[in-house]
Amino acid sequence: MNEVDNPLFTIPEVAKFLNVSERTVQRLIKKGDLSAAKVGRQMRISRYALDQLLREGNTASPSTGKPDHTTLF
């Protein structure tokens, strides 16, 4: 898989996509539910890692509190 197929996203981009706060994304990373890599001083999250998080149901929908099993693309 090349970088076009697996782009890297910032914490604010992921937070906006998941409709959660940036702090929630940071907690998911710290807890190990979301894989991320540090690039310089910033964290980057791959599309694959986001898709994996959503497939495994490690996140809850903010409105219902139930797992969100949607995929990215």
Three-class DSSP category at 62: coil
CATH of the domain at 46: 3.90.105
Residues 25, 34 contacting (CB under 8 angstroms) = yes
Question: Does a structural domain hold residue 72?
Answer: no
Q: How far is CA 14 from CA 39, 46, 47, 54, in A?
A: 16, 10, 9, 12
Question: Does a structural domain hold residue 69?
Answer: no
Q: Is the pTM of this model over 0.95?
A: no
State the 10-residue block means of pLDDT for the chain, 73 residues long.
Answer: 75 96 97 95 95 78 51 43
Range of the domain at 29: 8-56
* Distance, CA of 16 to CA of 45 (rounded, Å): 13
Question: Does a structural domain hold residue 65?
Answer: no
Total number of domains in the chain: 1
* Distance, CA of 1 to CA of 59 (rounded, Å): 25
Number of residues that make up the chain:
73
